[in-house]
Amino acid sequence: MMTEQTVYLCDDDAGVRGALSFLLKQHGFTVAAYDSGPDLLAAIDDNPAALRGVFVLDVRMDPMSGPALHEQLLERGLGKKLPVIFLSGHGDIPVAVSAMAKGALNFIEKPYTDDLLLPMLREALALEVQWHRAAVRKDFLQSMWESLAPQQRRIARLKSAGDLNKVIAARMNIAERTVEEHWVKVRDKLGVDSAATLATTMAEMRSNGIDTVVDDER
């Protein structure tokens, strides 16, 4: 079951935190509110796999500022998993812009209106769905590649480049029959039916940052 998307709100001002939580819940958002960066980080570390949604962080907080909290989220690898939106005062705009350069999605200057905040949150949650699907796909591709034995990986690379079985056999100094047997396993494990579809799958792996270079090619 997919974990429910949540707005992870962090603001050390109880009044702002309570009012914003109430507003968002009234509009159908699920909200988890925290009064400090350390409390939010503790909750994340307790159950990191359950995180789905968006972070909404106030810039000025004690004992940890919003940008410092953002840095901690980046260190935990969450920068491309959950979008980050900053709540900032007028004097905080340069700070918020700097955070955006580090991957934050956007910032909302106080005082903000519902017409600005709510669409931005919906956009962030829609983006998070895309990021989540991409991450799931990458994990799936990675697991498929790792399921191949070393010889099968090399054969997969050579087949995707268009090499014939007899050419691969000569390059690897193995029998052509062995290449054919491995090729059957490669097709089964990667879910492909031809060298062309294998090439497409391996191109997708590389585009997702998966290392498909085998040891003797390094």
Whether 94 is covered by a domain: the verdict is: yes
- Work out the pLDDT band at 216, boundaries 50, 70, 90: low
The reply to whether 62 falls in a domain is: yes
Report which DSSP code applies to 65. Answer: -
186 and 92 within one domain: no
Among 138, 141, 133, CA closest to 189: 141
What is the DSSP track for 28-54? T--EEEESSHHHHHHHHHH-GGG--EE
Instruction: Please say which residue of 141, 157, 191 terminates a domain.
Output: 141
Are 52 and 121 found together in one domain?
yes
Contacts of 192 (CB under 8 A, 6+ apart): 186, 198, 201
Indicate whether 169 and 195 sit together in one domain.
yes
Give the predicted TM-score (pTM) of the model: 0.84
Does residue 50 form part of some domain?
yes
How far apart (Å, rounded) are the C-alpha atoms in residues 155 and 172? 9
* Rounded mean pLDDT, 170-191: 97
Domain of residue 50, residue span: 6-141
Indicate if 136 and 155 belong to the same structural domain. Answer: no
For the ranges 29-33, 98-102, 142-146, 208-212, the lowest mean pLDDT is seen at 98-102
Average pLDDT over residues 133-147: 96
pLDDT tens column, 72-118: 999 999 988 999 999 987 777 788 778 888 999 998 888 888 999 99
